Amino acid sequence: MGESVTPWLLLVVPLLGAIVASLSPRGSWLARASAMAAMLVVLALSLRLFLAYEPAADASRFDFNLPWMPALGINLHFAVDGFNVYLVLLAALLFPVVLGCSWHSPHTPRRLYLALMLVLESSLVGTFLSQNAVLFFVFWEAVLIPAGVLILVYGGDNRRRAAITFFLYTMAGSVLLLAAVIGLGAEALGQTGQWSFELGVLYGLRLDWNMQMFVFVAIMLACLVKVPLVPFHAWLPLAYYEAPAPVTALLAGALSKMGAYGILKLALPLAPDVAAAAATPMAVLAVTSLLYGAVLALRETDYKRLIAYSSLSHMGYVVLGLFILRETALHGALLQMLSHGVAVAGLFALLGVLEQRLGPAYRQATALSSAAPRFAVWSMVFVLTTVALPLTSGFTAEFLILFGAFAQGLAAWQAHAGALPLVVALLALTGMVIGATYMLRYARAILFGTDNGAHRIADLRPMEIASLLPLLLVILVIGIAPAAVMGKAESAVAQLATARTLAVSALPAAPEPAGIGGTHGK
């Protein structure tokens, strides 16, 4: 008892908050207060969990496991591990921050809005914490309902089309995921004699090449749509643009991490041989997406879309880091999830504040540094994190990813395994340069420029600043002293990298050459 219920509480508290918020009288302060209180409780719990989590210590400390459908091996199993400990904290952090930033927005007092936000938080945290494949799928899909309705009800002019596109697109990606999950359960039935969807059991299965291929393709489709990577990104500009800014902040900051987490938690460990063989094509895809997003952001003049495309580009780094198949790059990818989540949520939240003050005219806002200096400073913080200025979290994360990519590329080059991995690393570096260009252009356009006096806006209020402070804390901690944070994921990453190395070295019988993973295994 005690600590093992913490993961479960993380799910239940937002739901309780949602019930209180939806039952409170119309227009009353109670709805907002209960929503904020629930989110803060979740934040406190997850912070405590983050600080107390010791990978070396007893693994079952934060492990909530309750049989649900024992005959099918489906358990309510929520646990903290090295991979989700960041993401739970990120999700728990972003929700109160975003709510705080939009505290005075016209949507915020609405009960439906608050209830949906809380349900979204619960299902998102549930996705990250699930240690059972069916449970994971349940939460993975459940996220769509509140997110889709939030876009549908509170979005811009095209909200209906945006919501339906978002819902159907991401759902289409997941169609095969359930087939793969059930297929894995049936494999467990065949190999161990009983149904099991526990990830711990599924990791231990010996899957042949074809089954691994099916599982990998199914999971990757689901994840790449969610991340998204080019060419699965068609829903992104529409959804990010039409959703209200706080929801966009959550979509880009927290929901896009689900896809990357799915790759890390399902695709890599469940189909290690195929993942190793597909590493180079996946890295190429990631870099394509990274450059595509960067180029689109470069020629975009609408602020919201610009940030949306920058998000597309930065999620490319995450996927690249995952498929470098090296410990450094995996660490980088994990940190990038956290760093990008914080930075992009901050950027969208600030755009939301601006939209709230100026209405539609925020699209023409300029020279805000003189009108709203505090706003300008905060914007600059997130812009600089996004361009990966040293001492910010963006630098740590992207440096680790690129370092891993170069190491891998050089190793492949020296092993005469082709120059493609090296080219990928170089192109990823180019993406960083373009990233700096468009982000600084964004900052110039919105903060500097000629002040025509049209945009006299109220500067950030104390509530908004207080909400943004935790984001700055995360950025600086990761930027200055990443080791303490990385330690949480150390053993999980090492284990994954080693397991994959073993899989790669055991690969010669496989019909495909092992790709760059093979050189790593030597």
Partner 1 sequence: MASDLAYGLLPDHLLLALVLVLMLLETVGATERLASLLLRLALLAGCAVLWQQLATGYAAEPLPGEIGIDRFALLAKLVILACGLLWSLVFPGGTYKSALLAGSSLLGALVIMDSAGFILLFLGIEMLSLPAFALIVHGAGRGTAAEGAFKYLLLSAVASASMLFGIALGYGVTGSLAIAPFAEAVRAGAPPAVAAGLLVASGLFLKAAVFPFHGWAPDAYSGARLHVTGLLASIVKGTVILALVRIFGTVGLNAETTAVVVVLAMLSIFYGNFAAIKQRSFKRLIAYSSIAHAGYMVFALVDTTGSRASDLLWYVAIYASTVIVACAAFAVLCPGEGDDVQALDGAFGARPVTALVFGLAMLSLAGIPPLPGFFAKLFVFTSVVASGYLAAAAVAFVGSFIGVTYYLALSFRLFAGDAHTAPAERVPTRGGS
* Binding region for partner 1 (CB under 8 A): 72, 106-107, 110, 112, 134, 137-139, 141-142, 144-145, 148-149, 152-154, 156-157, 160, 163-164, 167-168, 171-172, 175-176, 178-179, 182-183, 185-186, 189, 195, 214, 244, 299-303, 305-306, 355-356, 359-360, 363-364
Return all residues near 243 (Cβ < 8 A) that are at least 6 apart.
150, 151, 154, 155, 156, 159, 162, 251
Nearest CB to partner 1, comparing residues 107 and 265? 107
Nearest CB to partner 1, comparing residues 48 and 160? 160
Q: What are the tokens at 23?
A: 């039952």
Helices 111-129 and 84-101 meet at what angle, rounded to 10? 170
Q: What are the tokens at 107?
A: 């949507």
C-beta of 296: minimal distance to partner 1 in Å? 9
Nearest CB to partner 1, comparing residues 108 and 501? 108
Nearest CB to partner 1, comparing residues 173 and 228? 173
End-to-end CA distance of the chain, in Å? 45
Nearest CB to partner 1, comparing residues 173 and 272? 173
Rounded to an integer, what distance in angstroms lies between the CA atom of residue 98 and that of residue 27?
20
Nearest CB to partner 1, comparing residues 40 and 189? 189
C-beta of 173: minimal distance to partner 1 in Å? 10
Q: Which of 45, 19, 21 is nearest to 35 (CA)?
A: 21
Residue 173 in contact with residue 225, Cβ under 8 Å?
Answer: yes
C-beta of 108: minimal distance to partner 1 in Å? 11
Amino acid at 104: H
Rounded to an integer, what distance in angstroms lies between the CA atom of residue 315 and that of residue 259?
10
DSSP 406-475: HHHHHHHHHTTS-SHHHHHHHHHHHHHHHHHHHHHHHHHHHHSS---S--------HHHHHHHHHHHHHH
DSSP 262-291: HIIIIIHHHSHHHHHHTHHHHHHHHHHHHH
C-beta of 374: minimal distance to partner 1 in Å? 23
Q: Which of 101, 34, 40 is nearest to 346 (CA)?
A: 101
Nearest CB to partner 1, comparing residues 12 and 179? 179
Residue 128 in contact with residue 88, Cβ under 8 Å?
Answer: yes
C-beta of 71: minimal distance to partner 1 in Å? 8
C-beta of 379: minimal distance to partner 1 in Å? 18
Nearest CB to partner 1, comparing residues 197 and 317? 197
C-beta of 102: minimal distance to partner 1 in Å? 11
Rounded to an integer, what distance in angstroms lies between the CA atom of residue 133 and that of residue 122?
17
C-beta of 328: minimal distance to partner 1 in Å? 36
Residue 109 in contact with residue 117, Cβ under 8 Å?
Answer: no
C-beta of 152: minimal distance to partner 1 in Å? 5
Nearest CB to partner 1, comparing residues 302 and 512? 302
Strands 74-79 and 63-69: antiparallel
